[in-house]
A and B are shown apart, each in its own frame.
Chain A
Amino acid sequence: MRRAFAFVGALARTGAIVAIAATSTAAYAAADPSKVLRHVFPAAETGFDPAGVQDLYSATIEQMLFETLLTYDYLARPAKLVPLTAEALPEVTDNGKTYTVRVRKGIYFIDDPVFKGRKRELTAADYAYALKRLIDPKLRSPWAWLVEDKIVGLDAVAEAAKKTGKFDYDAKVEGLETPDRYTLRIRLKDTDYNLPYILAHEPTSAVAREVIDTYRDESGRAMANPVGTGPYRLKQWLRSSKIVLDANPDYRGFTWDFKSDDPEDQPLIAQMKGKQMPLVGRIEVSIIEEDQARLLAFQNGELDLMDLGGPLAPNVLDGGKLKPEFVKKGVQLSRIVDPSTIYVYWNMQDPIVGGFEKEKIALRRAMAMAYNVDDEINVVRNGQAVALEYPIPPGVVGHDPHYRSPVRYDPVLANKLLDYFGYKKGADGWRNLPDGKPFTIRYASRPDSLGRQLDELWKKALDSIGVRMDVQKDKFPELLKLERQCKLMMRTASWIADYPDADNFMQLLYGKNIGQNNNGCAKIPEYDKLYEQSIRMPDSPERNRIYHDMARIIEVYAPWRLDTATYRNMLIQPRVQGYKKHPILHAEWAYVDVAKPQGQVPSGPGGKAVPD
């Protein structure tokens, strides 16, 4: 009998191996090693540990190496969650407090010596481990906030680790259960309908514990040995210079079958529909910091994809469209408004600009009305931004394109407002406080060209209403420090979506986030009450109504002056097919195809074409 079982077991294993081999062969056949996609980053990466890095460029690479449980539909707008390694979207029970996700069977990590020649299957425990790592104090992950004070029992293990100096990954966490090999159950302390977005965020990507244990450095991070289940693997890494990925031969692959009602997407769908993905066998990413070098390299055919960036826009774009010389060459443009917001905040605890007294509100409103956002868009942003009316930017769930803010550029009205509330002009021509004392607004900014341009626009704005302004220059870390301590009077800040839900933006003014990301140190009881209601609600018309009310509160008390959201312009060579910039996904490389290397310019002298 035992021998019979052994035979069955061997057969099953053989079957499994055959199945893996079939998947592997299919995927390997799909990704063509001769198809090379060349991309560029304008800044250097830092490493490839999902829990350890926070820069956009490392995260972009990570999205190709590792996999989250969920991801976003490539074409759906606003961004829509779909399963990635999960069988389906999570089952939500207990009023949004319990989430159950099932991991697909038969997904494997790339081969690595740590696995000693065996195939290592992805399991629910790998995701539980990844979530625990985020809160390990030794790791000092910048993503701790994704799980902190959210998952039942997890904070207690982190607290214990602070005392013992060692995070016990084997400790039972009530809110992180794996009832079987493929099921992950997450129990939250409180209702949170945004957890699925967090499960699509790259810091929660699956990592194998034995890999981290083998390759980790003193801080517990494995920055240089990424071992994931993603469509690509790290082939070569010349730090801060070049990153080469090649297709993961064991990747399961998928069929390109995305749908969209947008007429602009139809040619792309016709090109790509039914193709077995990924098709690109090799991805080369160069790091080129200088704008001119980046653009010339693209024009020279050394790059296939490039994020244009604001300073280069006048060289390539005429308004929102490509200049004729680029159109003639067949260059494509994929343009979106980033799910981001740029805003100016006033410190609500500052004795001059802060507070809820009518004259303080009037001062903030007058400054808001004196500032011409259109000037900023045209002069500073080279036309590559849109004025924001609503604190939830376009492309984010909860955005209302019909909402209109009453805050408008109107220096005449701003002057009248200040006159009415007693900010009289003194003999020196500058306004004084209602009690007659002189005052100066200190606008904080970074010592770079963008900072200097904004300084000038704000100086011009405040001069127009007779308010004296000084510029407070400091390095970024120091500005952050002062901001967290509520010691800055006024600054232009920005926020880009971690996940495409309104909550990610509306929490910026929540009173309990003072000292974290509520950089204006605003504590507005009406706002906080509405915010606390909103976080217990899924996306719905009721929740949107609450957001409307919160936006009106911002306009009434004026802790912010909503500014702009910037465009992201991706330039694409004609040989690339199927590319469309996604608002949340950083890397779309697994969804595109490239023509065979005919005419492809190698990174060699002269940009001579390589013959077939």
Chain B
Amino acid sequence: MAAYIVRRLWQMLPTMLGVILLVFFLFNWVGGDPAYVLAGKISNQEQIDNIRRQLGVDQPYWVQLWIFIKQVVTADFGASWSTNERVSNILMTRLGPSLTVVVPLVIIATIISIGLALAVAYVRGSLTDRAVMIVCTIGLSVSILVYIIVFQYVFAYKLGWFPVQGWGDSFWENLFVYSSLPILIGLVVSIAPELRLYRTFVLDEINQDYVRTARAKGVSENRIMWIHVLRNASIPIITNLMAGIPGLLLGSFLIERFFSIPGIGREVILAVERSDFPVIKAITVYVAFATIATNLLADLTYKAVDPRVQLK
């Protein structure tokens, strides 16, 4: 196990290097020169050159790339170009609000999706199964933007069940007051595709011989579905779940912007708007790292849920 983990961590190096190169060249190619914005409304070439020198963007590309690599290795990305706030502080303070929304969302969405998937797979082909699938297909076809606009208007403004937007100081207030509607929207958006996918995984298992054998032995239907079927269907479910988590942090930027949640996704948009390369670099590298780490975690979890899996 330890050797496997070390080998996987070692394999991260070329992936991270690829990410670094991609981010660096993309930003330098399409990012624009921030000095012209930072210099203000009225500035001369000398002032612009001074800013470029201080930001280090006047250095040859290979020097800038080397600095970037050193920043990744030391996990010190310096300060934001537009606010001078330390990048580490930006990440630390924005991560909490994002996790406040994403963690409950992932947990609730997974429980509901798995539960419903088992239920509709059990009554496959029935009217209930077909109705649920039709609802899921319709739900899948609607953009998240529509959900946000409609739910914010109806549930927050018209019915007054939630605040239209906001964020406070208390974790519990943020979780139960300000995150409720964003989580509800997240659930509506994520349950439909997950339910369809998980139903397929369950259906693959439900026709297997071991299920027939269990029934023949008189095992209860509940035990068959929740223990035997779910355990075997869990590997693709875990893969799907783990692959989605890092993306959720960034992908919730629309929800964060509409509900004024000071999270990571909103910060990325702000950084791109401001050509704030240190923040973009840090978030991209950390998300890449998180993706690789969750993949590793998924592989380790396979072993935990199914001892037949061999880690090589």
Among the stretches B131-139, B183-191, B256-264, B298-306, the one at the interface with A is: B256-264
Chain B residues whose C-beta falls within 8 Å of the C-beta of A240 in the assembled complex: 262, 266-267, 270
Task: Output the nearest chain B residue to A607 by Cβ-Cβ distance.
Answer: B160
A292 touches B258 (CB 8 A): yes
For B43, give its contact among A145, A290, A603 (CB under 8 Å).
A145
* B77 interface residue (CB < 8 Å to A): no
* A329 interface residue (CB < 8 Å to B): no
Interface bits B40-84 vs A (CB < 8 Å: 1, else 0)? 111111011011001000000000000000000000000100111
- Kindly provide the distance from the CB of A426 to the nearest chain B CB, expressed in whole angstroms: 36
A498 touches B36 (CB 8 A): no
A484 touches B36 (CB 8 A): yes
For B259, give its contact among A293, A299, A513 (CB under 8 Å).
A293
Task: Output the nearest chain B residue to A58 by Cβ-Cβ distance.
Answer: B83
Interface bits A42-55 vs B (CB < 8 Å: 1, else 0)? 00101100001010
Cα of A140 to Cα of B48 in the assembled complex, Å: 9
- Kindly provide the distance from the CB of A513 to the nearest chain B CB, expressed in whole angstroms: 8
* A475 interface residue (CB < 8 Å to B): yes
Pair count A-B, CB < 8 A: 156
Among the stretches B5-13, B148-156, B195-203, the one at the interface with A is: B148-156
* B165 interface residue (CB < 8 Å to A): yes
B38 touches A140 (CB 8 A): yes
A302 touches B257 (CB 8 A): no
Interface size grouping (class) on chain A: 35 or more
* B168 interface residue (CB < 8 Å to A): yes
Interface bits B271-284 vs A (CB < 8 Å: 1, else 0)? 00001000000000
* A582 interface residue (CB < 8 Å to B): no
- Kindly provide the distance from the CB of B309 to the nearest chain A CB, expressed in whole angstroms: 44
Chain A residues whose C-beta falls within 8 Å of the C-beta of B169 in the assembled complex: 236
With A290-B258, A477-B36 known as contacts, the answer to whether A606 contacts B160 (CB < 8 A) is yes
Cα of A481 to Cα of B166 in the assembled complex, Å: 37
Cα of A328 to Cα of B164 in the assembled complex, Å: 22
* A170 interface residue (CB < 8 Å to B): no
* B30 interface residue (CB < 8 Å to A): yes
B167 touches A478 (CB 8 A): no
Cα of A606 to Cα of B30 in the assembled complex, Å: 44
Q: Which of B11-30 contact A (CB under 8 A)?
A: 30
For the complex, would chain A's binding face be called helix, strand, loop or mixed by DSSP majority?
Answer: loop
* A296 interface residue (CB < 8 Å to B): yes
Among the stretches A114-122, A181-189, A215-223, A526-534, the one at the interface with B is: A215-223
Cα of A498 to Cα of B180 in the assembled complex, Å: 43
- Kindly provide the distance from the CB of B250 to the nearest chain A CB, expressed in whole angstroms: 16
A516 touches B43 (CB 8 A): yes
- Kindly provide the distance from the CB of A352 to the nearest chain B CB, expressed in whole angstroms: 25
* A258 interface residue (CB < 8 Å to B): no
B85 touches A516 (CB 8 A): no
Q: Which of A554-612 contact B (CB under 8 A)?
A: 603-608
- Kindly provide the distance from the CB of B276 to the nearest chain A CB, expressed in whole angstroms: 10
Q: Which of B81-102 contact A (CB under 8 A)?
A: 82-85, 90, 93
Among the stretches A23-31, A281-289, A452-460, the one at the interface with B is: A281-289
Cα of A515 to Cα of B49 in the assembled complex, Å: 13
A293 touches B165 (CB 8 A): yes
Chain A residues whose C-beta falls within 8 Å of the C-beta of B157 in the assembled complex: 296, 299-300
Chain B residues whose C-beta falls within 8 Å of the C-beta of A224 in the assembled complex: 85
* B39 interface residue (CB < 8 Å to A): yes
A516 touches B42 (CB 8 A): yes
Interface size for B (C-beta < 8 A) is 55
* B33 interface residue (CB < 8 Å to A): yes
Cα of A46 to Cα of B81 in the assembled complex, Å: 10
For B32, give its contact among A300, A476, A498 (CB under 8 Å).
A476
Q: Which of A286-322 contact B (CB under 8 A)?
A: 286-290, 292-293, 296-297, 299-300, 302
A292 touches B84 (CB 8 A): no
Chain B residues whose C-beta falls within 8 Å of the C-beta of A515 in the assembled complex: 44-45
* B161 interface residue (CB < 8 Å to A): yes
Most buried by A among B43, B44, B79, B167: B43
* B37 interface residue (CB < 8 Å to A): yes
- Kindly provide the distance from the CB of B92 to the nearest chain A CB, expressed in whole angstroms: 12
Cα of A218 to Cα of B278 in the assembled complex, Å: 15
A603 touches B163 (CB 8 A): yes
Chain B residues whose C-beta falls within 8 Å of the C-beta of A477 in the assembled complex: 31-37, 275
A516 touches B44 (CB 8 A): yes
Cα of A236 to Cα of B169 in the assembled complex, Å: 10
For A140, give its contact among B45, B50, B166 (CB under 8 Å).
B50
Chain B residues whose C-beta falls within 8 Å of the C-beta of A144 in the assembled complex: 40, 43, 47
Cα of A162 to Cα of B164 in the assembled complex, Å: 51
Task: Output the nearest chain A residue to B40 by Cβ-Cβ distance.
Answer: A142
Cα of A242 to Cα of B178 in the assembled complex, Å: 14
Interface bits B171-187 vs A (CB < 8 Å: 1, else 0)? 00000010010000000
With A145-B42, A224-B85 known as contacts, the answer to whether A604 contacts B177 (CB < 8 A) is yes
Chain B residues whose C-beta falls within 8 Å of the C-beta of A218 in the assembled complex: 79, 84
Chain B residues whose C-beta falls within 8 Å of the C-beta of A242 in the assembled complex: 166-167, 262
Cα of A290 to Cα of B148 in the assembled complex, Å: 11
A296 touches B45 (CB 8 A): no
B149 touches A292 (CB 8 A): yes
Cα of A217 to Cα of B79 in the assembled complex, Å: 10
**Beyond A300-B157, A606-B160, 20 extra complex contacts between A and B, CB < 8 Å:** A54-B41, A142-B38, A142-B39, A145-B43, A223-B83, A223-B84, A223-B85, A224-B85, A236-B169, A239-B93, A241-B260, A242-B167, A288-B165, A289-B260, A290-B257, A292-B153, A475-B30, A477-B35, A516-B44, A606-B162
* Chain A to chain B contacts (Cβ below 8 Å), 11 pairs: A140-B38, A145-B42, A217-B84, A292-B153, A293-B260, A296-B156, A299-B157, A300-B156, A477-B31, A478-B33, A606-B161
Question: A residues within 8 Å of B by Cβ?
Answer: 44, 46-47, 52, 54, 137-138, 140-145, 162, 217-219, 221, 223-224, 236, 238-242, 286-290, 292-293, 296-297, 299-300, 302, 474-478, 480-481, 484, 495, 498, 513, 515-517, 603-608
